[in-house]
Structure 1
């Protein structure tokens, strides 16, 4: 069985029945119709195979970036198999600004709308115009508007009604030429009159200082989502702990909610730097679990479940994984 170790940034030594890659829709459909059990994979930064996968892994390598602009905006059509950070770099080099807060996020362009990736106060859905996809059951090509995607915090229709039903082939972005720079979050707030390039370089600097490079230390970035709670729930926590980091989240209801960093919750629960065999909760960013070299899927799941249970007991908050965990038959839950 072929190894999956190089196809997932967490780097567990697991395998699958077969691995196939495709670079266009026709080759994908040909492969897909001849597989009984399969999993669609992009850059592998958000998928952890915890054991041997009894099926075929289909790797999306649809490439290509095209650009045009008008008086107000830049428009980009990007193949789902393109690397996300390489896209951001290209845009910065050409002064097609807007992606700067999302620099150095691992993974592929096709995975970005599924997770609705975000960082430093910006989520990618605000820059997505449409998404091109193929319906797996029929091979029909469809175009989804932004509102069709039901974007939410680290969420989209691709995790729900369209989960395992479509293949994203291209993402179409629109980058306004005039917009307000987003500097309200974290270390960006200390910048004085920053340019997009200043934000881009600061984001990379901070991410490198806090987050391990998956090429050196296996990881899948943020393992858990930052939980969103009611104001009353937050007040209960703030009454017991001084200086709880938090951010107001605008909602459609009358009352806004509060986002609490999962890293702070995990740290308070005592897991920062904690190790279970070869799985470690990262010492400088406890939101990240790492593979010290010979981790196995059982230890990853055990560490994650221990964190969830401890945070739940202490704060009455159930953390949800941001990563996609796979067992022998496909996606599994904690």
Structure 2
């Protein structure tokens, strides 16, 4: 499984399966139950920390297909199979002349994983354009259609993440707005507003440039992207940090709490570029945990624990990992 995760961790699975059609999913779960085997589902391997040895079945979602369902004056409805590569799906929508998810270009992983994490970047989230999805419920053993309300989306969160392992996303529908309006709220994009005839491709290209200038490429330096979530804390919890560092990045939330920058907290704790054995923190971005060579899940877990303990001791803030340990 070492080639099936973007951290390139040393990992093995006793059995494996490629899921190339939606109806194979319930059949595989039935087989696993019949034989008493643990079963885990894997997409692009971009947001996971794989255990060194898994004594069950690892099933890779490999379904493909993307289609325009409907076009109206105020929106375009598009659908993609869960196994499609997310970035390729974004590029496909832009090539069709549709805008709405160009700010999410360059995020590794599959379409099926996108709503689980409610992936977001550069001022946008999947939830912003979500229409519905179809998932297999491994508990009730039926297919279910989820609306946005059913998904209970939040910052890097959803019902699929809270009930990890229960649902397997099979397809995703997005409602892309018409007329298109660029989302240029994020730093680095605002200056595009001055460009005449701005289009989704121009925004996508700028997003890809910004990502490439800040984040290490997982194909060159194995990593799982942003490893820690930006903590959303009460004003009382944030007060000591902001009192000591008035310029610390913080973003007030609608519920009265505030979001702090995990990357800033880690860097201010002196951990940017820090290494511990075969794992380390990127010298380019403090949020990125990297495999320095031959690392396994234990190395990553130990480094993550060290980072969390250091930040907690320095600022009193608890960090939480984004990737799932499987």
Q: TM-score, normalised by structure 1?
A: 0.91
Secondary structure of 1:82's counterpart equals coil
Q: CA deviation at 1:138?
A: 4.6
Aligned residue in 2 for 1:18 = 15
Distance 2:204 2:325 in 1: 30
Corresponding position: 1:293 with 2:293 = yes
Aligned residue in 2 for 1:193 = 194
Distance 1:122 1:270 in 2: 30
5+ residue gaps, structure 1: 327-334
Aligned residue in 1 for 2:126 = 124
Q: Return the match for 2:216 from 212, 217, 223.
A: 212
Distance 1:29 1:184 in 2: 42
Question: Would you say how many aligned residue pairs link Structure 1 and Structure 2?
Answer: 318
| Equivalent pair of 2:26/2:136 in contact (CA under 8 Å) | no
CA-to-aligned-CA distance 1:122-157 (integer Å, 9 cap, x gap) = 111111111111222454221111100010110000
5+ residue gaps, structure 2: none
Q: CA deviation at 1:103?
A: 0.8
Distance 2:260 2:294 in 1: 32
CA-to-aligned-CA distance 1:272-322 (integer Å, 9 cap, x gap) = 001112212001111000112222222211110010011111111110000
| Equivalent pair of 2:237/2:317 in contact (CA under 8 Å) | no
Aligned residue in 2 for 1:95 = 97
Aligned residue in 2 for 1:75 = 77
Q: Return the match for 1:33 from 30, 35, 45.
A: 30
Secondary structure of 1:33's counterpart equals helix
Distance 1:248 1:181 in 2: 23
Distance 1:57 1:272 in 2: 34
Distance 1:22 1:260 in 2: 39
Q: CA deviation at 1:179?
A: 4.8
Q: CA deviation at 1:171?
A: 0.5
Corresponding position: 1:59 with 2:63 = no
Distance 1:231 1:193 in 2: 36
Q: TM-score, normalised by structure 2?
A: 0.93
Q: CA deviation at 1:32?
A: 1.9
Over 6 Å off, 4+ runs: none
Distance 2:284 2:239 in 1: 27
